Structure 1
């Protein structure tokens, strides 16, 4: 393992034990500079890369050899008692060291490089190079014929390729259009199919993404040309192609025909044809098609753009406008609202959730993201719950099931006078249902099962995701979460016992929390001691807690979520109980057997609202106001697949506005994630979003009316989310570590809510945003950066992702080169092992596994005080231990978090060590052998993990 930590440029470390700091280098211009051994390592690295290719960067042999050679060169230069050396002296020693090591090919490459540089330095050669016409020496290319779909052939239109590549490179200073064109032509052959030419263009550009992130935008624009050809041909009924320059007029002509094509195919709602399509088409901004990075546009193409028999007929701006129209259907001024919503989506200042993007404006507009259900304790109720799972998952819903009411193992079944097998066999059926109903192949059906910690089957529940044991009692495809009452953690801290019950004998525990739960629970413990409870078992609370944390580390499940914090701070505690969260742990809504909680999600792109000094408060306010209106509209145009979901959504009207791009915003503001400044920014940014979202919902209440169950809610009592912290503090007798500071005028907003009411029972929730953040090209949700260079996997394939902020900083300091790329690959995108990266950049761009996870908890705590729901909070630990896990999760509880999400240890997704070029993405997917994960089994970008989609 220690060998793997040796980096190319760290070779100078050992050498620096000698006195090289006293040595100076006399440059060719006569100036002197301090001797830097790392430059020798870099020069050697470049020579090995030139001879052996990218594979050299991942070779332990090569890295150890470079370290040894560097040390020998340093010894040779410093061992003679000299105080200065010439550049040529250093280069001579490098050549000599390579020859003595038997690396003759590498030495020859190094010599040739020296000769070329020397020749280029002569005035006459520099002038010759600057005035030479490369086209005069380029041999004529053979004629290449392109085969169309109907079998006919035409000569390859190189001039058009040149136009398309030039457009793709326009405004991208680091992109070389001729390089893309030459590589594309080099990949073409006589008789090549048209789609292969388009593929060659994209592949030529994206092969350079690892060394220059701007090529991702060039690749996206080349893919866009392919989409235009496919889409315009399908809509117009004949082969058509258009450059980006043509799209200002082409979109106007295309859009009405696109709407009619979708209606004729039975895909779009015929009501869309009643809009003023000419007015809407005129509002389209074709230039925004250029804002996609390759991963975003490929994801959009693969999963979102509408198709007929797998031929797309929807262009990106038509997609955004179609979504906006679908959400505007019941607005009084539909066109104006549709344009307003389109502006927000196409600018990517806000993005609706995936179900809304999939289905808005279609004939089945199921636009809601999350559904929470409670499963009743009888066969009809259980299978009704599983049936509802299937119906809700069919149209892209993510599910959270409360299974606590189902009786435990050994409980009596009155109808047969037998004993129950417990909840696990039914969870197995729910698991298999999620696999079977996969939303038409768009993404896997996904469900999370919740069980309260006092349930008799809790220990079997902990084992559901294990890879050993009876497969009939395992659920490998279903997420699981613990629903933990405060009393349990208080027993853990006091070293007390914990009693497990079957819910059929303690039915009210399911609906109680806080002091009422404690009283009832202790009463049932007394009854058990008196022999009045038939099925129960007593364990040490700390032993069960240890097992919960151990299984969480081993399998990634069950997640830890906190029942009392969710309920005591719920605005709707007058009208029911929060029995679980959802698939991704950010939704905390009441459920009953008769009501399925529904939430409609969308996220503000935080980095799109930044100025040089921080957030643009006025722009953010406008974005949030429009976004909340869009989310509220979803409730009224939504297609409900079950009566339980429609009933709940119409009565309470909850929505969940969140955010994404948090890490990007920190990079732009030069704030390390592991810092008090980052925690403060998490606080202030969430405060602004919360304030404007609550204000927007209150404005809608004045315009449209309050939600039905408003009276009696915390809102109606003037208790806002920031105020509800006091309810939690009181219930815990002050045992709560939460900062309650604020910056905005909350008294004024509190008065407004009391006057006008609220349109929505809940307004705020931070979802994972993995796919929509890909579309927008920003970091996921509130996540720290995963790696600075890595291969990202999702249902669209594998994609090279380089941190553009880091690349820009390294370029500015003259440190971005092939050796740096090689080092980043070798160290999985982590900077701390690369010595020549300055300390301030190592701190700013520290990855998720390099930081103390308590920083994530602190930032989440500052956000949670402003949220009426919760947040999807992943926690990262490089080397988890029992003590560290215990401290982390108890801190999360004490800091007032409502839920936590995945515990992630080192992921299975690593940068391929040999090379990234030509291996990423669906277009040219090549199987890559990856190391096995350690710890939690869900990798950070697992394409099979619904939470990552």
Structure 2
């Protein structure tokens, strides 16, 4: 009886006969066969043959097993199935070779196998550590181990043997510990701590000790680690490691890049404040520069600055105004790369009643200036009274609180809409919808700012702690004699939510903050942002149209689930480690929740009353637990669609010197193969139709309803999807409201008003082809003589070039564009999730 098998990388693992059955059955499905009993019988025949071929105590190799599978299929007269199996095997061999080249390895390991070619290209180009010569010196497996170990460090220090929930009478004696001297000498189970892990340990200990919460000296804790007393935390490291390597969850880019490395900063974005003085403005500029250097982005509300032309008493001159200072910040951003990973990203905000707001609205007209900024108008709550009654709306000088002038509120709103129609900016932030669900409004007043992409609403000096669950990874596919069954695994999803919540809470503690004020404010409220990605691919699998009531109900249910179980885990953390410090000043003790869904009992799937009682009794560890961010590179690493966005295009075409290659949405490809419709002709047809199948006559209507792209969906349905996800999200949601090229200004105005009425906290819009320097989905208009490879070659070679799971479209430069390129790899940028983004390496102006 065969018990073990030798993998290609030399590892000996348990033998699993089901893998043989599944491989044969998948080859059968690819040729239109559907006989699971036959697949099981053939699988047993393979095992019998294999056992006879082995010497005593010989362990078979993967190659031996696959060779015998081929033999059995041919002997059984299943030539077409054998051919499909051989082609698949050949394709996998080519993929392995390509992965070896990307990573500079002789053999790929089990983690490399889980990630597709494009994911490894992104990891290799931007995430894996390199030496001074630029050579990769870290594997993906080592990266995820490095991050998992670093993230587990706070849990060790919160262990009840060394941590006290109650404040002790005195601090422990401070000791000098040299991280370099301890490097390689401390282990948690099988995991070795490097010097940066040890620096994190010292940093967290120092903070908890300053709060008089540590029962033991640091040197004693280090001895406990050496003696193996904390080896049980190896399991927590494994949980984080498995969550990431099985692509169920990814933290934001700074965590992957910096944890276990010199910079140590895992926060993506920060909100900075400034007062109306040159000293304050320049201090904020300096802080932004240092944040960019460490890998973060910044959001600012410039509304405290006096308007352009206002009197300056100290110089007897006139003020330059906020837009002039924004230009200064923009220039600074140009010359500083974010931690060597990406250029700085900014969100510039101005209140609707600032005297310079009209100039602000048109500041990015034609995308010719402030190119390192997203800009948004913060529409104050009282604006709507003036708008409804069409009364003159006062603009207030922040210097003295006096009316600067009056404007027509409806003309003002129309100007915002027109600029959005023409240039996709400014975005809108809705004061009333943001602060109605702000749990800390009594303690700190209103929130007036967000991070660069607008989905994290923050007070000054707060920061973003973000990570996303890959919904597609929780789709389960089962085969039986009756056929194929697909379902969403809610139990596994709950477990992942809980582990990811604990992960993000630990990030808050072990993070290396750029400034003490940011550390203090962030840890007062302990906001975390657990979000989602892979929504579009999940809906494809479940055959739920994105733009349907059923699709939106699934979105609501998913986010309700994320919010509920992240709060449950936050309660557990509060009991173990303490509530967030401003809990008593929040509205949680009153039984309130920061989500609109809580007010609509008829939509509950879970017992929210029970949860609120637990919060009242035990408190919460985190003021917010949910945010839906743009996922940029991390969705590319996970090989799934981006954030909550629909797929931008079902087919991506790439023209290179040797011919034309196509990349197809994986769920679409799989479905069309089952339907017997997938061939060269279909790929070219979809590409020519800008990635859409709606006008292809021979595709059944059923699939046209399910496989909709961003441009197939009406603006109203985009807004309703946004509202569905926002309903159960504490902070806000990053989503682009796509409009067709021929959309009118009035169409866009209706979308803005609908978004506000449905409770959305902000809005980003994009009318197709409206921005120069942004690229277009679909095939090139001018036919060129290029060599079209066969479908076989496309499938074999496809993974060696680029496949962006969230976009999956061809990106081409139109004649009138500026040809803006990615600063990392030189590829054309596209516009999605409100940001310019590189579809090849994942670089983005405001990528998370």
The gaps in structure 1 that reach 5 residues or longer are 1-161, 182-204, 206-214, 232-240, 248-285, 507-532, 727-737
Shift of 1:173: 8.8
- Whether 1:421 and 2:286 are equivalent positions in the alignment is no
Shift of 1:644: 2.0
Shift of 1:720: 1.5
SS at match of 1:496: coil
Shift of 1:549: 1.1
Kept in 1: contact 2:421–2:745 (CA 8 A): no
SS at match of 2:154: coil
Map 1:222-241; keep pairs closer than 5 Å.
222-227=97-102, 230=104, 241=106
Shift of 1:871: 0.7
Shift of 1:791: 5.0
Kept in 1: contact 2:574–2:621 (CA 8 A): yes
Distance 2:635 2:473 in 1: 12
Map 1:233-252; keep pairs closer than 5 Å.
241-242=106-107, 244=108, 247=109
Q: Which residue is equivalent to 1:683?
A: 556
Worse-superposed segment, 656-665 or 439-448:
439-448
Q: Which residue is equivalent to 1:475?
A: 370
Shift of 1:640: 1.0
C-alpha change, 1:349 and 1:945, in structure 2 (3 Å) is: closer
Decide which of 243, 263, 266 is 1:364's aligned counterpart: 263
Q: Which residue is equivalent to 1:546?
A: 414
Worse-superposed segment, 476-485 or 758-767:
476-485
Shift of 1:500: 1.6
Distance 1:324 1:769 in 2: 20
Distance 2:316 2:337 in 1: 38
Distance 2:815 2:703 in 1: 28
C-alpha change, 1:666 and 1:630, in structure 2 (3 Å) is: same
Q: Which residue is equivalent to 2:671?
A: 809
- Whether 1:290 and 2:108 are equivalent positions in the alignment is no
C-alpha change, 1:178 and 1:868, in structure 2 (3 Å) is: closer
Q: Which residue is equivalent to 1:282?
A: none
**TM-score in terms of structure 2 length:** 0.72
Kept in 2: contact 1:904–1:939 (CA 8 A): no
Distance 1:792 1:887 in 2: 37
Shift of 1:331: 2.4
Kept in 2: contact 1:739–1:862 (CA 8 A): no
- Whether 1:497 and 2:392 are equivalent positions in the alignment is yes
- Whether 1:635 and 2:459 are equivalent positions in the alignment is no
Kept in 2: contact 1:615–1:685 (CA 8 A): no
- Whether 1:896 and 2:759 are equivalent positions in the alignment is yes
Shift of 1:335: 2.3
Shift of 1:305: 0.9
Decide which of 515, 526, 539 is 1:666's aligned counterpart: 539
Distance 2:487 2:82 in 1: 28
Q: Which residue is equivalent to 2:145?
A: 321
Map 1:902-921; keep pairs closer than 5 Å.
902-906=765-769, 908-913=775-780
C-alpha change, 1:313 and 1:177, in structure 2 (3 Å) is: farther
- Whether 1:394 and 2:293 are equivalent positions in the alignment is yes
Shift of 1:697: 0.7
Kept in 2: contact 1:586–1:766 (CA 8 A): yes
SS at match of 2:406: strand
- Whether 1:587 and 2:456 are equivalent positions in the alignment is yes
Shift of 1:584: 1.0
**TM-score in terms of structure 1 length:** 0.64
Decide which of 497, 518, 527 is 1:654's aligned counterpart: 527
C-alpha change, 1:722 and 1:324, in structure 2 (3 Å) is: same
Distance 1:179 1:615 in 2: 30
Distance 1:391 1:362 in 2: 17
SS at match of 1:390: helix
Deviation string, structure 1 residues 127-163 (Cα, Å, up to 9, x no partner)? xxxxxxxxxxxxxxxxxxxxxxxxxxxxxxxxxxx99
Shift of 1:362: 1.1
Decide which of 104, 108, 122 is 1:299's aligned counterpart: 122
SS at match of 1:312: coil
The gaps in structure 2 that reach 5 residues or longer are 1-62, 74-79, 157-229, 477-484, 804-809, 821-828
C-alpha change, 1:703 and 1:502, in structure 2 (3 Å) is: same
Q: Which residue is equivalent to 1:567?
A: 435
C-alpha change, 1:799 and 1:902, in structure 2 (3 Å) is: farther
Decide which of 597, 602, 611 is 2:467's aligned counterpart: 602
- Whether 1:447 and 2:346 are equivalent positions in the alignment is yes
Shift of 1:426: 0.5
SS at match of 2:652: strand
Distance 1:902 1:799 in 2: 31
Shift of 1:560: 1.1
Shift of 1:614: 4.2
Q: Which residue is equivalent to 2:699?
A: 837
Distance 2:128 2:561 in 1: 33
C-alpha change, 1:922 and 1:556, in structure 2 (3 Å) is: farther
Deviation string, structure 1 residues 839-883 (Cα, Å, up to 9, x no partner)? 111111111111112222222222222222111021011132111
Decide which of 348, 360, 368 is 1:461's aligned counterpart: 360
Distance 2:735 2:811 in 1: 31
- Whether 1:751 and 2:618 are equivalent positions in the alignment is no
- Whether 1:311 and 2:135 are equivalent positions in the alignment is yes
Shift of 1:724: 8.5
Deviation string, structure 1 residues 472-501 (Cα, Å, up to 9, x no partner)? xx3122211111123223433333322222
C-alpha change, 1:739 and 1:779, in structure 2 (3 Å) is: farther
Larger helix percent = 1
Bigger radius of gyration among the two? 1
Worse-superposed segment, 913-922 or 396-405:
913-922
C-alpha change, 1:920 and 1:501, in structure 2 (3 Å) is: farther
Distance 1:885 1:924 in 2: 34
SS at match of 1:694: helix
Deviation string, structure 1 residues 662-707 (Cα, Å, up to 9, x no partner)? 1111111101111100111011111111100011111100000011
Distance 2:663 2:707 in 1: 14
SS at match of 2:147: helix
Shift of 1:417: 2.2
Q: Which residue is equivalent to 2:594?
A: 721
SS at match of 1:548: helix
Q: Which residue is equivalent to 2:96?
A: 221
SS at match of 1:415: coil
- Whether 1:410 and 2:309 are equivalent positions in the alignment is yes
Map 1:105-144; keep pairs closer than 5 Å.
none
SS at match of 1:386: helix
Distance 1:467 1:721 in 2: 37
Could you say what the CA RMSD is over the residues aligned between the two structures, in angstroms?
3.3
Q: Which residue is equivalent to 2:750?
A: 887
Distance 2:298 2:580 in 1: 24
C-alpha change, 1:813 and 1:567, in structure 2 (3 Å) is: same
Distance 2:468 2:602 in 1: 24
Shift of 1:432: 1.2
Distance 1:942 1:219 in 2: 29
C-alpha change, 1:178 and 1:743, in structure 2 (3 Å) is: closer
Distance 1:869 1:712 in 2: 18
C-alpha change, 1:903 and 1:714, in structure 2 (3 Å) is: farther
